[in-house]
Amino acid sequence: MEVEGKLLSMGIADHVLMKVALGKEVSRPPVWAMRQAGRYLPQYMAVRKQAGSFKEMIAHPEWAAEVTLQPIELIGVDAAIIFSDILVVAEAMGLNYKLVPNKGPVFDQPIRNLSDLSSLRSISESDNLVDTYDAIRIVSRELHGKCPLIGFAGAPWTLFCYMTEGSGSKTFSHAKRLLYQNPAGSHQLLSAITQATITYLKGQIEAGVNLIQVFDSWAGILSPTDFEEFSLPYIHKICSAIEEVPRIVFAKGAFYALEQLNDLPCEVIGLDWQTHPSFAKRFFPHKALQGNLDPNTLYAAPKEIKARTLQMLDAFPKGKHIANLGHGMYPDIHPDHLKAFVHTVQDYSY
């Protein structure tokens, strides 16, 4: 298998997480957490104070590498995920954004009609993506095969939402209006984002990541019909183009599309906490599943976290599960509560 051969050359193929992704036998599930490098860690906040802002942390590879490694050292998770942001691709394509307190990302000039597409550019020589590649090289060197390093990107539909809405939203009405009023232009933009994302992920792989995850954070606001037209084909193109390392697809809220997700050329499907493993696993006879503890569970006492984690582990198919949260860590969760989750998984055996 070409992927396995490449991972062997990286010295990472025998790690428990990689074995699950490759369909190999394991004695326990691996575990990591989305947003595991973040504000819940005092050490992260110290770096952020030094940097001055989230975007400055991303722009400086040494800082990005430092916070990427913190959960490995402080929590003991089984994988690192490079510290970055899904919107760096939009910025590389020419759409500048700023992060506004209590509001999130805000774009200076969002895409609102087909004529705006002419302002987009190729990302092949984008400075802001080079920062991420450099951070990956630092982390890969520091890990030295200790655990896998995960690269990631936002799915085209999710980036489309931010690039056309101009900011976060509960409904993304500007984005959905564009789908219905100008489907041809929407497909043109989605195609451009897809090609940029493929280029970006291949750059991450070249820099040293061992597997990649595609986040479709806003899949759940689409109808099943619209997901099949405006999201799924573009995720498929990305997965088809990335053959060098295992691929994880996380489409939050897309419980209605599990059968279609099984057709994607990827090894792992991520589940949010609203999808029960016993329901989901019937759709994926040959793929591993990732997830899916409700992040809010980590507000509970460690004893309760352990009980609910064990309940989750028992519901997933044995040997075909990467333990994770059903979405990202919240900033006010105590680090010890994440440790309780991680250690419970690592003490579990098949």
The residues that are catalytic are: 35, 39, 48, 85, 162
* Cα angle for residues 103, 75, 85 (degrees, 5° grid): 30
Which run of H or E residues covers position 81?
A: strand 80-81
Handedness of CA 265, 270, 271, 272 (dihedral sign): negative
Residue 210, token pair as written in the block: 């061992």
Torsion of CA 310, 314, 318, 323, to 10 degrees: -40
Instruction: Produce one character per residue of 272-306: b if its CB has 16 or more CB atoms within 10 Å, e if not.
Output: bbebebeebbeebeebbbbbbbbbebbeeebeebb
- DSSP helix/strand/coil, 344: helix
Q: Residue 334, SS3? A: coil
Q: Which amino acid is residue 182, in one-letter code? A: N
Query: From CA 276, how far away is CA 312, in angstroms rounded?
Result: 9
Residues 67, 73, 77, 80: is their CA dihedral positive or negative?
positive
Q: How far is CA 213 from CA 74, 141, 270, in A?
A: 23, 21, 9
